[in-house]
Amino acid sequence: GNSVTQMEGPVTLSEEAFLTINCTYTATGYPSLFWYVQYPGEGLQLLLKATKADDKGSNKGFEATYRKETTSFHLEKGSVQVSDSAVYFCALSDQMGGGSYIPTFGRGTSLIVHP
């Protein structure tokens, strides 16, 4: 079956530090990959996505590259801000047994950025 594994949190950084949140996946087909972010008190929202191998998704200074050979989609940002403090979810979308596309999510990684 499909699964997503992300690094355990919380990740605690100082402002302007470099961020990496690791994500690896297992899929039976050729999935699309997503990062979602959940800010405190808000719902999950799409951060970025990539739909084929070697694609790079980017948004708000965050980037992630679809690596088929290592089945990874690590999230990076060069300089984090306090406002980036949130929970980040890696997800894949692949066709399920019944033919529908139902996203599978990782457990989420909490990021705490200190001033």
Residues in the site for another protein, rule: CB under 8 A? 4, 31-32, 34, 36, 41-46, 49, 51, 89, 93-98, 100-108
Least distance (Å) between residue 98 CB and another protein:
5
| Residue among 18 and 53 whose Cβ is closer to another protein | 53
Least distance (Å) between residue 64 CB and another protein:
14
User: Taken in order 76, 106, 13, 42, is the CA torsion positive or negative?
Assistant: positive
Least distance (Å) between residue 38 CB and another protein:
8
List, in sequence order, every residue forming a beta bridge with 65; answer none if it has no partner. Answer: 56
Whole-angstrom Cα Rg for the chain: 14
| Residue among 41 and 115 whose Cβ is closer to another protein | 41
d(CA 45, CA 37): 5
- Tell me the C-alpha to C-alpha distance, in Å, between residue 47 and each of 35, 58, 96, 98: 5, 8, 24, 28
| Residue among 9 and 85 whose Cβ is closer to another protein | 9
